[in-house]
Amino acid sequence: MIGTPLRFILLALSLALVTTPAAAQAPTLQGTLEAVRAKYDLPSLAGAVAIKGRIVASGAVGSRVRGRDLPVTVDDRYHLGSDTKAMTATIAAMLVDEGKLRWDSSIGEVLGDDLPGSHAKFLAINLEQLLSHTSGLPSDNKQMIDLYISGDVYDFDLTNYRKRIIKAIGKAEPVLPPNGSPFQYSNFGYIIAGAMIEKVTGEPWESLIHQRIFAPLKLTTAGLGPQATMGLYDAPVGHDVENGVASPRPWGPSADVPAVMGPAGNAHMSIRDFARWASWNAAQGKRGPALVKADTLKSLHTPRVKTPVIENPKPGTPKTGEYALGWGFAKFDWAERPLLTHNGSNSMNLASILLDPVSDVAIVVTTNFPGEKADLAILELMKTLYLQHAKPAPRP
C-alpha cells in the first residue's frame, strides 16, 4: 500500500435531458450493476448512459459504507477525481474564447510577477502543455506532496497558496521523460492551469467551477471535496484499503486530496449529473448551453500527444493511446473506433467517463472503492453498456 501522504495525491476527464423513470429502467440496469458489484465485491456501483441528450438508463446499487445497511440511491454523490480535469480545461477554453487566455499563454506571461526566481524553462511552459501533460512537470513527487499537505496552508487562502507552491516548484528545470513521448501525467500542471485561470479572472477556481460549469449545466448535486456531509453518511463514502483491510473515509482531510489540488481533481456529483456533463461533451457543441464555441470544444477533445506504451496492461485496457486537453483518447478492443475517456480517483473512489461523439453516446460509471477490483469492474461495465447502447458509425 502506498504511504499515507501519497495516498491522498493519486488522482489516476442549459441541458434539457429527459431522465428515464426509475421503474422503467431499473430491472435491466440494476441487475447488471448488481451482478458486476457482487462479482468484484465492491461496496457500491453506479452507472448511467445518455444518448443524444437523453439519459436512457441510470442506476446505483450497494451500500454507502462497506458492511453497513446504507443503500445508495441514484441521486447520491460520487467522487470524480481526475475527471474534474476536463472541467478545468473547459473553463480555460471559455477564457480562450473570451480572449483572456491563449492556448500558448505561458506561465511567465500570466503568473511571472508572482514567481520571482523561477527557472526560465518553467516560465516558458504554456497552457496547452499544462492541460495535455506535456510540460515536463513530473507526476507528484515528495517535494510536491510535502507542499500539498504542509501546515502553511492554514496561513493562506487557496488561490494564494497555489501561487506559493508553484513558486517553490518553479525554481527547478522541467524535464521531459526519456521514453520518446513528452507525455508525463502531472496533477501539478493542472494546479498551475487553475492558478492561471484565477489570475486572469480575479476569481477563485472553486467559485468559477460553480459559476461556469455546475450552474449552467444544472448539475444540482455537484460540489467539491469529500462527497459526504460532515457527520452524515449521506453519500457513498470512499474507502482506504491497506493490507487487504478496507476502512471508510467519510469526512475531513483523510477523505479527499488536499483542497489546493482542486483543479486537478476534487469534484463530486450524482451519476445522473455526471451523465449530463458527459452528454454535453458527447454532443461536441450541438446542444446547449454554449459554454464554448463548437470548434473550441472539439479542440479540447483533439489529441495533442501519443501516450507511452503500457507493458502488460490490465485486461481490457489499451496498451497505448493519446491525450487531448483533460481527455484521453483510446482504442478498446470492443469498440470499432477510438473513444474519449478518462478515469478519476483520489485513491479511495473511482470514476470513469466514456464518450462516443459519432453516436452521441456518453457512459459514466462510479464506485466508492479503489484498486484493481474497482478498475476491472468499471472496465467490464463500460464494455457492457457500450455494446448495449452504441451503434456502428454510418458508412460513407
> Which of 9-23, 63-77, 187-201 has the least mean pLDDT?
9-23
Contact 2, 243 (CB under 8 A): no
Q: Where residue 340 falls among pLDDT bands split at 50, 70, 90?
A: very high
Give the pLDDT score at 315.
67
Nearest Cα to 168, choosing from 105, 114, 234?
114
Summary mean pLDDT of the chain: 91
- pLDDT on residue 312: 74
- Asked if 218 and 14 touch (Cβ cutoff 8 Å), the reply is yes
| Cβ-contact 217, 275 below 8 angstroms | no
Q: How far apart are CA 69 and CA 67, in angstroms?
A: 7
Confidence of residue 392 (pLDDT cuts 50, 70, 90): low
383-11-362 Cα angle (round to 5): 30
pTM: 0.92
Residue 65 backbone dihedrals phi, psi, to 5 degrees:
-135, 130
pLDDT tens-digit series, residues 275-314 = 999 999 999 999 999 999 999 999 999 999 999 887 777 6
Question: Peptide bond before 289: cis, by omega within 30 degrees of 0?
Answer: yes
Give the residue from 148, 106, 110 showing the smallest Cα distance to 128.
106
Domains of the chain: 4-80+269-389 (3.40.710.10)
